[in-house]
Amino acid sequence: MKEADRPLIFLTGATGTMGSETLGELLRRRDRFRVRILVLPKERNLPSVRRWLRDPDIEILWGDLTRYEDVLAGVTGASHVLHVGGMVSPIADRFPELTMQVNVGGAQNVVRAVQAQPDPDAIRLVYIGTVAQTGGRMPPIHWGRTGDPIKISTFDHYAVSKTKAEAIVAESGLRYWVSIRQTGMAHAQMWRIFDPIMFHNPINGVFEWSTARDSGRLMANLCEPTVPEALWRGFYNMGGGDGSRVINHEFMVKTFAALGIADYRLVIQPNWFATRNFHGQWYSDSDHLEALVPYRSQTIDAFVMELAKAVPWVVKAFAGTFPRALGNRIRKLAEAPGGSLHWLAHDERENIAAYFGTREEWDGIAGDWGAFELAQPSRTPSLMDHGYDESRLPDHWHLADMKSAAQYRGGACVSQSMEGAHQPLDWRCALGHDFRMTPNLFLRGGHWCPTCMTDPASYADVADASPFFAQAYIGGRG
């Protein structure tokens, strides 16, 4: 294929884990695609960037997502925009203002740049959302799907930013966009992560993992001409399917073994870990994305074998030979700012309330593994009620459907006419706020009042008035 005939793919976030996997997959198809990436000038000396500079098939733009001019230069001439870039946890939650500038402002700039093109409808925009948008889903509400209520964990600035950014994309009026909600992404360098956020994740919580390799495959596959029309203007959960659904304590067994630790119980204690307020779920609908754009190649067990090969032998040798020393180091991490034991030692009541409920509830968590119950939640999918006839396709939605769905959410659809799933309507939420939103985002995206949706402090009041939201807010847990 001649160079001028090859579609130009504009990729943000190429220096991140998912972005670099995407770039690698696109380069394996360099006979079919040209690639342009946006890279921060301060990243010029990264080994990966220096390598890319020598590749004639990569066009590097030095710039920043927060600068519209830089984003416009990247989008201009592109057939596909893969917006993977942004700030992620745990760094995102430590710098909330910068996170909003990058994640929300970046999405605004991407959408604005696409809209500025001579033919915006000729461009395919892929946005990466996150499982964090639906927050804690501890058993028995551990099965989820798109359209379930957005419910953000307390202190999760990252999820707030990604929820706002997703709405910007979905409400853009563009014809070709899609939101892919990424789950926990397993990658070969995750053994390097040593951060107090590990204690925010409940032992009995669940995840349906994806892998970095499959994430890159999906992004590249979304640029192929075989992508079905039905994909666009939709929301999809990305997960590895049945072979990647694990309980967190099962994942610990697998990953600690890859690190050379035969028994994870030798280095951590159960009462170091939160019991709520952290995202993660098994998807009843992740096979839908796989059916539309096949991308899966790895189960979680296959990934763990890859991880074991990536961990240096000296790390495995130390961990396996000196588990007590490693356990002391991990305990110090739990005692560091942001760690669970730090909250308790310094009586950080807001954190204790968010992640444990009360100090008394934390006192009730067994401190030794022999007395701690490892959960085995149901592996049979269960669905939340979305409050409308889901057998109807969006083209067949009526105003009566909107009014019924709004009532189920404790509010009202104020509009008196409707012009389709992608034209905004006027709504009133359960707490009396007025807002405009497309039926598509409201029903298929699970979004609701922008004021309440990103304010976890209002969730108890919303749950009292909204049967829809109450399904995801059992006793304030999640």
Per-residue pLDDT, 138: 96
Asked, for residue 83, whether it belongs to a domain, the answer is: yes
At residue 150 the predicted structure's pLDDT band, cuts being 50, 70 and 90, is: very high
* CA–centroid distance for 361 within its chain: 29
Segment 217-228 mean pLDDT: 98
What does the alpha-carbon distance between residue 473 and residue 148 come to, in Å, rounded to a whole number? 12
- In terms of domains, do 79 and 220 share one? yes
**pLDDT score at 320:** 86
CB contact at 8 A, 291 and 218: no
CA 295 to centroid of chain Cα atoms: 18
Q: What number is the average pLDDT over the span 214-228?
A: 98
User: Is it true that the peptide bond before 294 is cis, omega within 30 degrees of 0?
Assistant: no
The pairing of strands 245-247 and 206-208 is antiparallel
Domain assignment present for 184 = yes
Whether residue 221 sits in one domain with residue 119: yes
Name the region of 241 (left: φ>0; alpha: ψ -120 to 50; beta: rest). left
Give the H or E element holding residue 206.
Answer: strand 206-208
Residue in 245, 271, 450 with CA at minimum distance from that of residue 369: 271
CA-based nearest residue to 416, from 426, 407, 428: 426
Is 444 domain-assigned?
A: yes
The answer on 241 and 112 residing in a single domain is yes
CB atoms within 10 A of CB 217: 22
Q: Residue 356: what pLDDT?
A: 97
Whether pLDDT at 25 is above 60: yes
Same domain, 36 and 142: yes
- Determine which helix (DSSP H) or strand (DSSP E) holds 466, and give its type and residue range: none
Token pair of 206 as six digits: 């669940």
Instruction: For residue 440, tell me if it sits in a domain.
Output: yes
Count of CA atoms in the C-beta half-sphere (13 A) of 342: 15
d(CA 329, CA 259): 15
> What rounded mean pLDDT belongs to the chain?
96
pLDDT value of position 192: 87
pLDDT of 8 higher than 70: yes
What is residue 193's predicted lDDT score, i.e. its pLDDT?
87
Measured CA to CA, the distance from residue 43 to residue 60 in angstroms comes to 12
In a domain, 357, yes or no: no
Summarised one tens digit per residue, pLDDT across range 345-404 is 999 999 999 999 999 999 999 999 999 999 999 999 999 999 999 999 999 999 999 999
pLDDT at 418 over 90: yes
In a domain, residue 255? The reply is: no
Average pLDDT over residues 248-257: 96
> Taking 90 as the threshold, does the pLDDT of residue 214 lie above it?
yes
Percent of the chain with pLDDT over 90: 94
Nearest 5 degrees, angle CA 334-CA 102-CA 201?
Answer: 25
CA separation, residue 133 to residues 61, 84, 177, 287, 362 (Å): 30, 16, 18, 19, 26
Domain containing residue 135: 3-194+205-245+284-303
The 10 Å CB-count burial string (b at 16+, else e) for 63-101 is bbbbebebbbbbbeebebbbbbbbbbbeebbeebebbbb
* Residue finishing a domain among 273, 303, 333: 303
- DSSP run (H or E) holding 18: helix 17-27
Q: pLDDT, tens digit, for every residue of 439-452? A: 999 999 999 999 99
Strand ranges for 310-380 from DSSP E = none
Average of per-residue pLDDT across 330-337: 97
Q: Taking a C-beta distance cutoff of 8 angstroms, is the pair 198, 272 a contact?
A: no
Asked, for residue 387, whether it belongs to a domain, the answer is: no
Q: What does the pLDDT average to over 323-345?
A: 96
The answer to whether 175 and 117 have CB atoms below 8 angstroms apart is no
Q: CA-to-CA distance for 107 and 366, rounded, in angstroms?
A: 44
pLDDT (0 to 100) of residue 319? 86
Residue 291 shares a structural domain with residue 431: no
CA distance 61 to 47: 17
Q: Is the pLDDT of residue 478 over 60?
A: no
Phi, psi of 339 (to 5 degrees): -90, 155
- In this prediction, residue 476 has a pLDDT band, given cuts at 50, 70 and 90, of low
CATH number for the domain that contains residue 184: 3.40.50.720
Neighbouring C-beta atoms of residue 122, cutoff 10 Å: 12
Q: What is the mean pLDDT of residues 305-322?
A: 91
Q: How many domains does the chain have?
A: 2
Angle in degrees, CA 262, 265, 270, rounded to 5: 155
Beta bridge partners of 475: none
**Greatest pairwise CA separation for the chain in angstroms:** 70
CA–CA distance, 255 with 300 (Å, rounded to integer): 10
> Is 379 inside a domain boundary?
no
Q: Which residue has the tokens 């592996």?
A: 379
Last residue of a domain, one of 237, 272, 303: 303
What pLDDT, on the 0 to 100 scale, is given for residue 474? Answer: 78
Sequence-distant (≥ 6) Cβ neighbours of residue 92 within 8 angstroms: 86, 99, 103, 157, 158, 161
β-partners of residue 227 are none
Same domain flag for 299 and 398? no
Instruction: Report pLDDT for 1.
Output: 60
Nearest residue to 240 (alpha-carbon basis) of 284, 189, 287: 287
335-to-301, 338, 473 alpha-carbon distances in Å? 31, 8, 29
Q: How far apart, in whole angstroms, are the C-alpha atoms of residue 423 and residue 386? A: 20
